[in-house]
Amino acid sequence: MDPNHDFDSTSDYAESFSASEFTSIKTNRLLDLYEHGRRYQGVVADRYGLPNDEAEQLREGIKYRLYLDHILNGKYFFAPIGELPQKIVDLGTGTGMWAMEVAEKYPSARVIGTDISTIQPSWTPPNLEFRVEDLEDDYRPWTSIYNNADLMHCRFLMQVVRDPKRMIQTIYDRLKPGGWIECHDIVPEVYSDDGSVGDNHPVNRVYELIDGPFTEFYKWSLHIVLKLPDLLREVGFVNVSTRRNKIPMGRWPNEHNEREMGLFQQAIVLDFALAVLAKRDILGLDQDEASELGQQVLDTVNDPSIHAYMDWADVWAQKPE
């Protein structure tokens, strides 16, 4: 493998992988940083460890299709907010796909998508607005634009914020009485039912590296997903519901739907690992070590003899009336 490769490939089939309080989208297109061939948000330096370039946006799109088409079976969320919601907020909206479709489905609602990265489309439905904002700014609290929401939606957000409990408390305070929070996250562990996933699976080794220096630098909380139900109750939420989805990884399943989910997850996990390994300096790896681990991830997720799974977890809860 070429040791000079900068991990900017998105293919999961290749044989090898080579301001102001609310900052407008248009005025911040140039606020990006570049490192090891990947592009990162530059609104707040060193706040979020994953890139925002086209490769990462493609990965986000695959995640969205896996969730919408397979895990949620065409639903956008589980929270029972009724047919005429007035305000829906998508925290960590990313490319804004979820917010766009929800705004079209619920024309009665004002939909707000907010993110630290400026990668949302310029065209939106009339009831949707995108905001670029650091939701964890210690000196600038959330404004009234978020008040009285029917639903605050968080997908893959809680694991990458510095203080999940404070984020949950802020959401609780901004929801209207009877409003809902809904979170979707991935459980950071690869496993199998037949023993084909060994103790030293390379994806699990990537997660171990994230738990070390990467987490120390970015203050991630990868394992918060299993603690969310209790945190929601501690803050005051009621009617807490959970669901755990067992998703295959790889092309090994025989059943069509399972195989499609496996291929989606294979692409998602592979590109996630490569994006993390691009931050090899923070991980404490040299270029050769990062390249070797990346190749091991690629080889393993493409091995049909390894019948791997990962769990995707959903939790939703209500603020008391």
What pLDDT sits at residue 41? Answer: 72
Q: Does 72 or 141 have the greater pLDDT score?
A: 72
DSSP 205-236: HHHHHIIIIIHHHH---GGGGGTHHHHHHHHT
How far apart (Å, rounded) are the C-alpha atoms in residues 215 and 168? 20
Q: What is the pLDDT of residue 11?
A: 36
Both structure tokens of 317 = 């809860």
Is 60 exceeded by the pLDDT of residue 8? no
Specify the DSSP element, H or E, that contains 265: helix 256-277
The mean pLDDT of 70-95, rounded to a whole number, is 94
Which is nearest to 183 in space by CA: 313, 61, 50?
A: 313
Nearest to 47, CA basis, from 119, 116, 141: 116
Question: Which range has the worst mean pLDDT, 180-189, 241-250, 279-288?
Answer: 279-288
Q: Is the pLDDT of residue 213 over 90?
A: no
Q: Which of 48, 14, 43, 10 is nearest to 28 (CA)?
A: 43
Nearest to 150 by CA among 249, 251, 231, 81: 81
Least confident of 42-51, 229-238, 296-305: 42-51
Would you say residue 149 has pLDDT above 90?
A: yes
22 has a pLDDT exceeding 50: no
Q: What angle do CA 150, 152, 154 make, to 5 degrees?
A: 160
Predicted pLDDT of residue 142:
86
Which burial class, exposed, middle or buried, applies to 183 when counting CB atoms under 10 A from its CB (0-12, 13-18, 19+)? buried
Task: Kindly state the DSSP code that residue 13 receives in the 8-state scheme.
Answer: S
Give pLDDT tens digits for 235-246: 999 999 999 999
Q: Is the pLDDT higher at 59 or at 10?
A: 59
- In this prediction, residue 266 has a pLDDT band, given cuts at 50, 70 and 90, of very high
Q: Where are the alpha helices (DSSP H) in 66-181?
A: 97-105, 164-174
From residue 157, how far is each of 33, 182, 232, 273, 281 by CA, in Å? 21, 11, 15, 17, 24
The mean pLDDT of 78-91, rounded to a whole number, is 96
Torsions phi, psi for 129 (to 5 deg): -135, 140
Q: pLDDT category, 233, cuts 50, 70, 90? A: very high
Q: Which residue has the higher pLDDT, 25 or 94?
A: 94
Mean pLDDT of the chain: 86
- pLDDT at 21 exceeding the cut of 80: no
What is the percent of the chain with per-residue pLDDT over 70, rounded to a whole number?
A: 88
- Which stretch, 120-124, 140-144, 256-260, 283-287, has highest mean pLDDT? 256-260
pLDDT for residue 26: 38
What local confidence, expressed as pLDDT, does residue 183 receive? Answer: 97
Residues 6+ apart with CB under 8 A from 262: 247, 248, 249, 250, 251, 252, 253
The answer to whether the CB of 106 falls within 8 A of the CB of 86 is no
Residue 2: pLDDT band with limits 50, 70, 90: very low
Q: Where residue 279 falls among pLDDT bands split at 50, 70, 90?
A: confident
For 37-56, write each residue's pLDDT tens digit.
777 776 666 667 777 778 78
Residue 23: pLDDT above 60? no
Q: Tell me which amino acid residue 209 is.
A: L
pLDDT at 15 over 50: no
**CA nearest 205: which of 72, 300, 66?**
300
Q: Which of 185, 152, 196 is nearest to 304 (CA)?
A: 196
The total number of residues shown for the chain amounts to 321
Higher pLDDT, 25 or 296: 296
> What's the mean pLDDT in 159-188?
95
The answer to whether residue 96 scores a pLDDT higher than 60 is yes
